[in-house]
């Protein structure tokens, strides 16, 4: 029986074939290709392109049945790119508009997606977020697959033995490099963070990678890991993240929204593992990199910035340091 659904915002910019296979992982490739080739698969009522990119809110019509729902599951299970994996941990490439853990029952989230992907592989379905990314922040997220690695990796974050580098498009032209050392205070009621002497220690370093007339691309190293740290610190320095409705520049956000900026352009680009001992010793020197998401890549290219040279040619990868 044919089925129709709306493209989820977290799938914005993904290839159509990848979206379909994430929703129907057991669908034979030949069936998928035939459905697209014959026009039986349609987007907003039009024949779909096999490698075309989808947009949030589009109606996807397919000639096969709805995804199967198991008891206790939400109806749609999705996958995500995996940047690194072993028996103890995964590093996944988190899309925008996706919570790490759900606010409400049945809400799509990173951890349930990882558990679903583990189930497809026949593995145990234990998965725990080692750290957090905001809903609309993309990129590398570390997930532990059991309690021992979870505790060890959380200790490593507290001891600053895992470096975190973000990429952000900011309003204005920052200096070539800078350090922001300002305590941050979170109001749990409003989920808002401010610079305050009553807050917790927070240290951010940034460096300018490329700049245009109105916006710039920066790399941000979070020495500490406070909530909303990159967004609040950059805004406090006079260079708010483009697209950030909470801490950003309203006028710039309005102008760039017309050009397709729909979220804060902040991306968890790199996780760098320093020296480890014990069961995680073999992770020493591991560097995991998440490629730029589609919206940030499109903006950098429209500005004429030499992105491959800046970021080192290639997509997401995991490699060992020397």
Known catalytic residues?
Answer: 134
3-state secondary structure 68-122: CCCCCCCCCCCCCCEEEECCCEEEEEECCCCECCCCCCCCCEHHHHHHHHHHHCC
Measured CA angle at 98 (ends 93, 101), to 5 deg: 95
User: Helix 16-23 and helix 29-37: axis angle, to 10°?
Assistant: 130
CB 244 within 8 A of CB 237: no
User: What element of type H or E holds 231?
Assistant: helix 229-236
Q: Rounded CA gap, 170 and 236, in Å?
A: 12
Instruction: Take residue 146 and report the two structure tokens written for it.
Output: 């059991």
* Residue whose C-alpha is closest to residue 293's, from 187, 137, 144: 137
Question: Are the C-beta atoms of 100 and 129 separated by less than 8 Å?
Answer: yes
Distance (Å, whole) CA 246 – CA 240? 10
Q: Where are the beta strands (DSSP E) in the chain?
A: 3-6, 42-43, 46-47, 59-62, 82-85, 89-94, 128-129, 138-144, 162-171, 177-181, 184-187, 192-195, 203-211, 215-222, 266-273, 286-289, 317-320
At which residue do the structure tokens 């379905």 appear?
A: 125
Q: How many Å apart are CA 62 and CA 227, to the nearest integer?
A: 41
Alpha carbon of 239 to those of 125, 202, 220, 233: distances in Å?
41, 17, 12, 9
How far, in Å, CA of 11 to CA of 8, rounded?
6
């Amino acid at each position: 029986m044919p089925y129709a659904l709306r493209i989820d915002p977290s799938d914005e910019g993904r290839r159509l074939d990848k979206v379909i296979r994430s929703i129907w992982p057991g669908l034979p490739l030949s069936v998928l290709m035939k459905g697209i080739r014959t026009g039986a698969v349609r987007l907003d009522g039009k024949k779909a392109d096999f490698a075309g990119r989808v947009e949030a809110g589009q109606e996807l019509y397919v000639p096969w049945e709805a995804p199967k729902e198991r008891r206790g599951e939400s109806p749609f299970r999705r996958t995500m790119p995996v940047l690194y994996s072993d028996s103890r941990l995964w590093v996944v490439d988190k899309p925008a508009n996706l919570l790490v853990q759900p606010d409400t029952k049945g809400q799509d989230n990173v951890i349930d997606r990882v558990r679903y992907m583990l189930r497809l592989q026949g593995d145990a379905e234990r998965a725990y977020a080692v750290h957090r990314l905001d809903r609309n922040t993309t990129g590398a997220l570390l997930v532990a697959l059991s309690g021992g690695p979870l505790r060890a990796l959380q200790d490593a974050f507290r001891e600053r033995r895992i470096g975190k580098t973000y990429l952000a498009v900011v309003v204005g032209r920052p200096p070539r490099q800078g350090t922001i050392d300002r305590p941050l205070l979170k109001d749990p009621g409003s989920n808002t963070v401010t610079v305050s002497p009553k807050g917790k220690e927070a240290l951010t370093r940034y460096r300018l990678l490329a700049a245009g007339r109105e916006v710039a691309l920066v790399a941000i190293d979070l020495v500490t890991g406070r909530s909303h740290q990159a967004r609040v610190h950059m805004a406090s320095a006079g260079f708010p993240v483009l697209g950030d409705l909470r801490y950003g520049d309203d006028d710039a956000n309005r102008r760039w929204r017309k050009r397709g900026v729909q979220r804060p352009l902040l991306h968890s680009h790199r996780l760098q593992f320093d020296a480890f001992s014990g069961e995680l010793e073999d992770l020493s020197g591991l560097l995991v990199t998440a490629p730029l998401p589609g919206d940030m890549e499109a903006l950098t290219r429209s500005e004429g910035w030499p992105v491959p040279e800046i970021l080192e040619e290639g997509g997401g990868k995991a490699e060992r340091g020397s």
